[in-house]
Amino acid sequence: MAEPISKIRDVSPSPEEKEAEQLEELKQTIAQDESGFKEILEFVKLLHDAGALEAVNSAMKAKEDIAKTFLNEWRKEPTTNAINNLMISGQLLTETKPEQTEAMIGQMKSAASEANKAAKDESIVGLFGLMKAMKDPDVNRALRYGIAFLKEMGKGLK
């Protein structure tokens, strides 16, 4: 008959064996993807040569101070105003159809070009000239647009 088991042996690898196994796995990984590893080494060398690696290391060491400074600046009113304005502008851009924005920008370019030409004309526009211009359908359409725009803006200013 066999003897009873009186001792339990630990068959887990020693720290040296684990290290040797990990090194072997690393060698195999590098050998399999040699070009990628060389690119990483080249990138790190470029960062080192440019001094960027030292800057990143210094930033990592001072990360708490940098985070405190960043948060202190982030909480100041001009920064929060800028963020809020960007969010509101983003909302306006998401609610406006791209075709409408494109058409309006095109019209603004055309209008600016015509306005530049008209600004070179030195003749005086009198009251009758304004009345005649108001009968022009294009001018009238722009006036209605402007008046409606100003009316809505005025409602918000109450």
Tens of pLDDT, residues 112-143: 998 888 888 888 889 999 999 999 999 999 99
Tokens 């080192």 belong to which residue? 48
Query: What are the Cα distances from residue 9, in Å, to 5, 13, 44, 62?
Result: 10, 12, 46, 48
Average pLDDT, the chain: 88
CA-closest candidate to residue 100, choices 92, 110, 89: 92
Would you place residue 92 in the very low, low, confident or very high pLDDT band (cuts 50, 70, 90)?
confident
pLDDT, mean of residues 9-28: 86
With a cut of 70, say whether residue 80 has pLDDT above it.
yes
Structure tokens at 83: 């963020």
Beta carbons within 8 Å of 79's beta carbon, 6+ residues apart? 73
Amino acid at the residue 128: F
Q: What is the pTM of this model?
A: 0.38
pLDDT in tens, 39-53: 888 998 998 899 898
For the chain, the structural domain boundaries read 23-95, 96-156
pLDDT at residue 147, rounded to an integer: 93
